[in-house]
Amino acid sequence: MLPYGRQSVSEEDIQAVVEVLRGDWLTTGPTVAEFERRIGEMAGGHRAVSATSGTAALHMAYAALGVGPGDEVISTPMTFVATTAMASILGAKIVFADVEEDTALLDPAAAAALVGDRTKVIAAVDYAGHPADYDALQALADTVGAVTLDDAAHSIGGTYRGRPVGDLADVTTFSFFPTKNLTTGEGGAVVAKNASVAQRAHEFHFIGLVRDADRFRIQDEGAWHQEVHEFGVNYRLTDVASALGVAQLKRLESFKLRRAQIVARYNAALDSLEAVRTPVQREDVDPVWHLYPLRVLDGRRRHVFEHMRNAGIGVQVNYMPVYWHPVYADAGYKRGMCPNAEAFYGEELSLPLFPDLSDVQVDQVIDTLAEALR
Ligand SMILES: *Cc1c(COP(=O)(O)O)cnc(C)c1O
């Protein structure tokens, strides 16, 4: 089966990992620090804290923002469940705002109708690798003293109005799962513009340990002393995984380029077909295409999905609206709430897209799709 996404691991990537395995530090060492420095550099110069997954990064981000019971988080239903689940798990109430009809990105106008005194975070997702409209979302958040969060699991390396992903929202989270734009196996990171939010994310992922003597509340212990002010978890990324991340970051530009070439090849073949809609790109955005979200019209998505899967093409559907998950339905969230997201879900089909996909394979996907539509 041709997968819809797949990692690209080079000999140099492997060598970088092997080198760390021969060294002194498997975790909490200099390669973690180097990876965080490089992520921070490409994310607008803000501090990055690495994590064991994108889900962990979201948990850290919401915890660092102090999200809890009584708070509302406005977010998009067109995402992987972790975007909102990590705020729900902290006791916040999720308020789902609908997406734009064409991009499937959080619609600032829909969010504007839902903000209020309780709004703590507006959490957008750069669906498919295309950044959301952060200038509009930030302006909206500012009106009620909320913060913006960019779940950038799809979009590391992209830009919006000339600014890099990581510099678009108050807090940004990344995922380095193998299908994403770069990988550390499992992995993720939080980037925060506010230094104390970044430090709180760091401490939360490091068991809550405080190691800054200026902040100690217990005085006159020895040089071994460290103390806990708030409970934390252990979401530390290892040096082994970070070595892969540092090596992969050097290849991100070439990954982005190859992904764009494949998207252009799909678009050229599919733009003129009546039976489908190809993905939309805003003029002020330079995306890193993580997904190729085709829309199959006339109620034929399921048929096309099954035909292509049977032909060995690993198409995927991203995503069922988050509030359809039983965990949200049980909490009272009703279908029909976000019609654009539901309509998009009804038509969406992700075609295979990853850097090592060859032109011959892309053409195979296109031919099989044409066959399915006949
Ligand atoms: C993959 C993904 C996550 C979670 O990342 P993991 O590393 O798999 O935990 C969160 N949000 C979005 C939009 C994702 O695609």
- 252-373 has the same fold as 11-249: no
User: Taken in order 284, 287, 292, 293, is the CA torsion positive or negative?
Assistant: negative
For residue 150, give every residue at least 6 positions away whose Cβ sits within 8 Å of its Cβ, in sequence order, or none: 124, 125, 126, 131, 132, 134, 165, 166, 168, 169, 171, 172, 173
β-strands 159-160, 163-164: how paired?
Answer: antiparallel
DSSP letter string, 95-147: EE-PBPTTT-SB-HHHHHTT--TTEEEEEEE-GGG----HHHHHHHHHHTT-E
Give me the architecture of the 11-249 domain, per CATH.
3-Layer(aba) Sandwich (3.40)
Known catalytic residue at 180: yes
Q: How far is the CA of 327 from the centre of ligand 1 (A)?
A: 18
The pTM (predicted TM-score) of the whole model is 0.98
For residue 112, give every residue at least 6 positions away whose Cβ sits within 8 Å of its Cβ, in sequence order, or none: 140
Q: What is the pLDDT of residue 41?
A: 98
Q: How far is the CA of 1 from the centre of ligand 1 (A)?
A: 23
Please give the C-alpha separations between residue 171 and each of 149, 160, 189, 192, in angstroms, as whole numbers.
5, 15, 11, 4
The list of the chain residues with pLDDT below 50 reads none
Which helix or strand (DSSP H or E) is residue 296 part of?
strand 292-296
Q: What is the pLDDT of residue 27?
A: 98
What residue spans define the domains of the chain? 11-249, 252-373
Please give the C-alpha separations between residue 227 and each of 29, 65, 158, 201, in angstroms, as whole numbers.
21, 21, 39, 16
Which tokens belong to 185?
């196996």
Probe ligand 1: pick from 105, 130, 150, 151, max atoms within 8 Å of CB?
151
Ligand 1 nearest-atom number relative to CA 127:
13
φ, ψ at 101 (rounded to 5°): -60, -35
CA angle 153, 69, 112 (to 5 degrees): 60
Amino acid at 315: V
pLDDT tens track for 134-155: 999 999 999 999 999 999 999 9
Closest by CA to 251, choosing from 4, 5, 9, 6, is 9
User: In this structure, which residue's CA is closest to atom 6 in ligand 1?
Assistant: 54
Ligand 1 nearest-atom number relative to CA 53:
7
Can you tell me the distance from the alpha carbon of 323 to that of 106, in angstroms, rounded to the nearest whole number? 15
Can you tell me the distance from the alpha carbon of 21 to that of 17, in angstroms, rounded to the nearest whole number? 6
Amino acid at 167: D
Q: What is the CA radius of gyration of the chain?
A: 21
Please give the C-alpha separations between residue 342 and each of 79, 111, 131, 324, in angstroms, as whole numbers.
12, 17, 20, 10
When the candidates are 3.90.1150.10, 3.40.640.10, 3.20.20.300, 3.30.565.10, the CATH number that belongs to 252-373 is 3.90.1150.10
% of the chain beyond a pLDDT of 70: 100
Probe ligand 1: pick from 177, 288, 291, max atoms within 8 Å of CB?
177
Probe ligand 1: pick from 83, 88, 172, 205, max atoms within 8 Å of CB?
83
Q: What is the pLDDT of residue 300?
A: 97
% of the chain beyond a pLDDT of 90: 100
Pocket of ligand 1 (CB under 6 A): 53-55, 79-80, 82-83, 125, 151, 153-154, 175, 177, 188
Q: How far is the CA of 57 from the centre of ligand 1 (A)?
A: 9
Query: Quick check: helix, strand or coil at residue 297?
Result: coil
Q: What is the pLDDT of residue 129?
A: 98
Can you tell me the distance from the alpha carbon of 292 to that of 351, in angstroms, rounded to the nearest whole number? 6
Can you tell me the distance from the alpha carbon of 89 to that of 104, in angstroms, rounded to the nearest whole number? 25
Q: What is the pLDDT of residue 362?
A: 98
Closest by CA to 313, choosing from 292, 329, 299, 336, is 292
Q: How far is the CA of 179 from the centre of ligand 1 (A)?
A: 10
Q: What is the pLDDT of residue 358?
A: 98
Catalytic residue (choose from 180, 250, 256, 334) = 180
Which tokens belong to 133?
């409209």
Can you tell me the distance from the alpha carbon of 215 to that of 338, in angstroms, rounded to the nearest whole number? 46
Total Cβ atoms within 10 A of residue 52: 22
Q: What is the pLDDT of residue 323?
A: 98
Q: What is the pLDDT of residue 262?
A: 98
